[in-house]
Structure 1
Amino acid sequence: MTQSKKIDILTIKYKVPIRYEEIGKFRGALLHEVGVEEDLFHNHKGDGFHYRYPLIQYKRIGGSAGLMILGEANRAMVGLSKTFGKSIRVGDRREVLEVDFMRSKTLTVRMGKKMFTYKLLNWMGLNSENYQHFQEIEDIEEKVAFLEQILCGQILAFCYGIDYDPPMQLKVEFLEIERDKVVPYKGQTMQAFDLIFRTNIFLPNHIGLGKGVSIGMGTVEEV
């Protein structure tokens, strides 16, 4: 097991203004131009769902549409570059896929004794299966411990998604749940949290954790 893992991260911001609720529409429009054969851009495999950590994440960056491309997904740039300058439909309007900026960097994901503190925004940690169990827990400390366990699993999913095998036990501790709210997701409403947590793994800024990662949910921010 390696102590660390280097990961290449490419961030692209387009000159395409979008609202938060339009990220999914932008994703669909870009997929249409790229083509379904570029499987890194979506989470479907044949007629089913491909359960894997999304290495291409659609974001809203400074009020505009953007992408965060991680690790091996950088090979998708060949197909993506063919879409530059094309006209797409976002909702009821057309936009041109003009790039505002592209930034590339290499970070090292590592785990050790040091604890790192992050903010987690619009985190949808609960699915249909664990939501009911969460509601049945009466003790507040037990509720928090349950959510910590879920987030721990999602961080491990990110690690395995970038081919990093953590060398020691992952630790996750909530410091503050700032907000418990309801957000729209795929035509329904879901419970989401804004919170601050610490963990013994260094995470790249702005990656996503939990449900809806591919459309900008569960964004990690350095504190």
Structure 2
Amino acid sequence: MGNIRILTLKFRNQLRPDEIKWFRGAVIHASDKDNVLFHNHTEENYRYAYPLIQYKLIHRCAAILCVEEGVEAIGHFFSGYTDRVRIGERELRLEIDYLRPAVFSLETTECPVRYRLRRWLPLNRENYQTYRTLERGDQRIHFLQKILVGNILSCLKGLNIYSDEKITCRIQKITRMYTIPNKNINLLAFDLIFTANLSLPPYIGLGKNASINCGIVTLAHKD
């Protein structure tokens, strides 16, 4: 299918999930505010393409995942880098843990790969109503699987990666369901285990709010 460039910047500073928005703001303040990749907002409206700079927690610590053009863009952050930032009401001194560039090969696989997906937000207002009408658990799983495939295809399209083979997913287990506040409403979030016939980069984001610590993909170890 194709290769993509990735750069993972992890800090030693632990944050709460609700502090990611302030961490994002601090990075935007320290970088090129005119570069839409940092904030996904344009003068007219909003950049609806796949986010190429993603703010998240890795092992509970602040991190930035840069993909493709986002790898070059992060240089603006370092050009004005200051280790003193404000996260909400507290001042924080950022300590870099590691900076890892990589080239990842996105390929379909003969054997399904097992993944963990955390803080996934598959349901908007319309499909939430559809989800609620499904009474059987297997119907809901099938419905979520279709959304997950759509999220993966949207990610690939945003990275200019196209597959001649059909992408398939199977949700093996939903480990947790809870709500995440978003713009004054609560969205239903899922933690789950799924398999897919595709290699996915670690910590890549899928679905809604992928740029701010949602829909995080990692390999799942067998129980």
Give the alignment's TM-score, normalised by structure 1: 0.92
Mean Cα displacement is larger for which, 60-69 or 118-127? 60-69
One-letter identity of the residue aligned with 1:199: A
- Tell me, which stretches of 5 or more residues in structure 1 are unaligned? none
Q: Distance in 2 between matches of 1:98 and 1:174?
A: 37
Q: Does the aligned pair in 2 maintain the 1:84–1:98 contact within 8 Å?
A: no
Residues 67-111 of structure 1: CA distance to partner in whole angstroms, max 9, x if unpaired? 011122111032111232253211001223442321112110001
Which residue does the alignment assign to 2:217?
Answer: 220
Which residue does the alignment assign to 2:177?
Answer: 180
- Given the alignment, which residue of 95, 105, 108 partners 2:105? 108
Deviation, 1:167, is: 1.6
Which residue does the alignment assign to 1:12?
Answer: 9
Per the alignment, do residues 76 and 114 of structure 1 end up closer, same or farther by CA in structure 2, a change over 3 Å counting? same
Mean Cα displacement is larger for which, 139-148 or 191-200? 139-148
Tell whether 2:127 aligns with 1:130. Answer: yes
Which residue does the alignment assign to 1:52?
Answer: 49
Q: Distance in 2 between matches of 1:118 and 1:98?
A: 29
Which residue does the alignment assign to 2:22?
Answer: 25
Q: Does the aligned pair in 2 maintain the 1:118–1:220 contact within 8 Å?
A: yes
Which residue does the alignment assign to 2:78?
Answer: 81
SS of aligned partner of 1:30 = helix
- Aligned-pair identity in percent equals 35
Q: Distance in 1 between matches of 2:127 and 2:53?
A: 26
Mean Cα displacement is larger for which, 104-113 or 93-102? 93-102
Q: Does the aligned pair in 1 maintain the 2:175–2:193 contact within 8 Å?
A: yes
Which residue does the alignment assign to 1:148?
Answer: 145
RMSD: 1.6
Deviation, 1:187, is: 3.6
Which residue does the alignment assign to 1:66?
Answer: 63
Residues 128-182 of structure 1: CA distance to partner in whole angstroms, max 9, x if unpaired? 1211111112232221111111010000011111110012111111111111212
Q: Does the aligned pair in 2 maintain the 1:205–1:221 contact within 8 Å?
A: yes
Q: Distance in 2 between matches of 1:128 and 1:29?
A: 31
Deviation, 1:55, is: 1.2
Per the alignment, do residues 83 and 150 of structure 1 end up closer, same or farther by CA in structure 2, a change over 3 Å counting? same
Give the alignment's TM-score, normalised by structure 2: 0.92
Q: Which aligned runs of 4 or more in structure 1 are off by greater than 3 angstroms? A: none
Q: Does the aligned pair in 2 maintain the 1:83–1:97 contact within 8 Å?
A: no
Matches within 5 A, 1:87-106: 87-106=84-103
Q: Distance in 1 between matches of 2:165 and 2:184?
A: 40
SS of aligned partner of 1:27 = helix
Deviation, 1:16, is: 3.5
Per the alignment, do residues 199 and 63 of structure 1 end up closer, same or farther by CA in structure 2, a change over 3 Å counting? closer
- Tell me, which stretches of 5 or more residues in structure 2 are unaligned? none
SS of aligned partner of 2:176 = strand
Q: Distance in 1 between matches of 2:21 and 2:65?
A: 15
